[in-house]
A and B are shown apart, each in its own frame.
Chain A
Amino acid sequence: MSVWKYKHTTPTVIAQKIRLLRSEDLIDLASTDLERVRATMMKTAYAEDILAMQSERLDSACFETALMRNFMRTCKKIVEQSPKDVKALIDTFLKKFEVSNVKSILKSKHAGLTSEEALAFVTPAGRLNELRCREILESSKTVRDVVEQLLDLEYGMMLVDALGEYKRTQNLLLFETILDRYVYNELWRVAGNLRGLDKKIAETVLGLEITSANIRIILRSKMLGLNRDQTLRHSVAVSGLLDRRKLEEAVDSTSYDDCLRRLLTAHKPSLTKDYQYMLGGVLEAFEASHSVVRLEHALDENLLRVNLRMLKRYTQFFNIGLILAFTNLKWFEVRNLRTIVKGLEEGIPSSEIEKMLILTH
């Protein structure tokens, strides 16, 4: 029975969700200083990771490491208590961070960094824990060596084919696109393996996330003046939510407005409400500012709102909606704290920091 399988996960997630910082707390933090942020965070779920920070250093990089460590620990806790199919989904979600580590290692080798320097960019996640990352870094001298070291994981096999182009262009973006495409494909595939309400919720939430990623790529490409082929080359997998042909039409459109309007109609009829809820706000935000930066912010904000909307719609807690919503809420909390810390370090006014936070109200 679907409800029964969440008997351990749901209480854990609810307990974690209660410990999330409220929007007001985040706004308050934006008008303090790094010392106060540290003191405040010592009273939250981040205490353990903040304590692990080197006390003599109080900079954004330290906070970032602590925040990421906390996020990974939280996800791990949920994975441990999740039922098998949900565990597969969260594991796949965590592949985003594994992939991020693969990218970091590839970049480090490309830039010729030492293992220690490279490890500063790595956030141990999933199968790529600190030990494995160190081993890969220390036993490889070039990008090709890294790819060969990764052959025991699925990433190595995918990247081998792109080595030729890397050798020619000395550009790592192709590797990054391949990895991103793989993760989003996997997320969509694993979401499809769920059943009933879980499948519906997961496909909606993850489908919108994939769509959001594609919209981001299309609009950014428009900003950079990339042509159709380049845009499609960098786009991630198309989820089942969107009609591929309509997406390509959006790529071909000449203006941002036209592109967004085409995207607004490019969804499956069954998802009209959620999709339009997400993109409608984005279109409004763009019309008000005509800035791709603000548009990206609106996309993130609306994606989070869709998560919460799903949570309210399916009020019973014993489904995957709560886990997905919490994971996203937690991720955006980490991102908001990172924004606040960096903003405070750079002396950005609190009103400006506040504008950059992804808040739920």
Chain B
Amino acid sequence: MSVELAGIHPTRQELLRLRRRKSLAEGIIDILKKDLDALIVTLFDFIKGVSSTRDRIDEALGRAYRLFVEAQMIAGSKKIEETSKVVCPIRFDIAVTAKKGVLGLSFPSFELVREAGEDGPRFSLLDTPASLDQSAMQAADGFVHIVKLVETEASIREILDVIAVKKRQVNRIEYKILPQLDAAIRYIELIIEEAERQDATRVRVLQRKRKERASKEVSDQRPQNGSSQQP
């Protein structure tokens, strides 16, 4: 991995700063991983909800269809078809709000709102059997579950987006920022070690030179002292 080291000041202060950054990055990874765990647990909860909602939709629409066929069997398929052509449709709207969820994320909340329509029955009370009304009720119940499913799937998508972002963040820190920091720390450590080694060598040289100078001075002074004592 190529790491840009040109702008790094190989100083102890920089080393300390980088080490602090590294421990901060590791802390962030830890937090992000905990967030990911929480998101994944919530994701699985939602996924479990999806299958049960799908079952409920299947059940409600299945019942609606059976009752519809029953109505056709009782009143005749022509009568039901004819009725279907003029029946006032139920107008639904979906109210979208946001609700707070795991990690303070806001998930979409959809609610099926039946628009106020004409009061009274939708089908002729004498020409059509009660099973037609019950079929319509079951179908409306099915719509409620469909909207619930859409809400859950939207929440899942939201969670998956957040999980992807968090994973990218973890990966970026784990595989980019941390190696960069490690490399920079290692680089500074090497530079400092090198500097220490050079300093040590320099000290040794200086000490040696100092010693040599000292011994030279001693040896220079000794003959002078010897000549002054001669008569």
Give me the interface of A with B, judged by CB distance under 8 Å: 60-61, 64-65, 100, 103-104, 107-108, 110-111, 113, 120-121, 169-173, 176-177, 180, 213, 216-217, 219-221, 223-224, 226, 230, 233-234, 236, 292-293, 295-296, 335, 338-339, 342-343, 346, 348, 353, 356
Contact = CB atoms under 8 A, between A and B. Distances in A.
Tell me what chain B mostly uses at the interface: helix, strand, loop, or mixed.
helix
Interface in B6-41: none
A331 B21 CA distance: 89
Contacts of B118: 169, 171
B126 interface: yes
A221 B131 contact: no
Given A61-B77, A221-B125, A107 B70 contact: no
B85 A113 contact: yes
B60 to A, nearest CB: 17
B88 interface: yes
A180 B121 CA distance: 15
Contacts of B86: 107, 110-111, 172
B129 A293 contact: yes
Contacts of A111: 85-86
Interface in B56-83: 67, 69-70, 72-74, 76-79, 81-83
Going nearest first, the 5 A-B pairs with the smallest beta carbon separation are A111-B85, A292-B130, A339-B73, A342-B73, A107-B86
Contacts of B120: 173, 226, 230, 233-234
Nearest to B124: A176
B119 interface: yes
A103 B123 CA distance: 13
Determine which residue in B73, B86, B118, B124 has the highest number of CB atoms from chain A within 10 A of its CB, and name it. B73
A293 B134 contact: yes
Contacts of A100: 127
A234 B125 contact: yes
A343 B118 CA distance: 33
Given A110-B86, A293-B131, A339-B73, A216 B78 contact: no
26 contacts: A60-B77, A61-B78, A64-B78, A107-B82, A110-B85, A110-B86, A113-B85, A172-B86, A176-B124, A213-B126, A216-B125, A219-B130, A220-B121, A220-B130, A223-B133, A230-B119, A234-B125, A292-B130, A293-B130, A293-B131, A342-B72, A343-B73, A346-B72, A346-B73, A348-B69, A356-B74
Contact of A356 (B73, B76, B125): B73
Determine which residue in B77, B78, B121, B126 has the highest number of CB atoms from chain A within 10 A of its CB, and name it. B126
A352 to B, nearest CB: 9
A47 B118 CA distance: 46
Tell me what chain A mostly uses at the interface: helix, strand, loop, or mixed.
helix
A65 B72 CA distance: 14
Interface of B: 67, 69-70, 72-74, 76-79, 81-83, 85-86, 88, 118-121, 124-127, 129-131, 133-134
Contacts of B73: 338-339, 342-343, 346, 348, 353, 356
Contact of A221 (B78, B83, B121, B134): B121
Given A180-B124, A230-B120, A342-B69, 19 more contacts: A107-B82, A108-B85, A110-B85, A111-B85, A111-B86, A172-B86, A173-B120, A173-B124, A176-B124, A177-B124, A216-B126, A220-B133, A221-B125, A226-B120, A234-B121, A293-B70, A293-B131, A342-B77, A346-B73
B82 A104 contact: yes
Contact of B88 (A171, A180, A224): A171
Contacts of B125: 216-217, 220-221, 234
Contacts of A343: 69, 73
A348 B131 CA distance: 16
Given A107-B86, A224-B133, A338 B76 contact: yes
Nearest to A342: B73
Contacts of A121: 78-79, 81-82
Contacts of B67: 293
B139 to A, nearest CB: 15
Nearest to A104: B82
A176 B77 CA distance: 19
A223 B85 contact: no
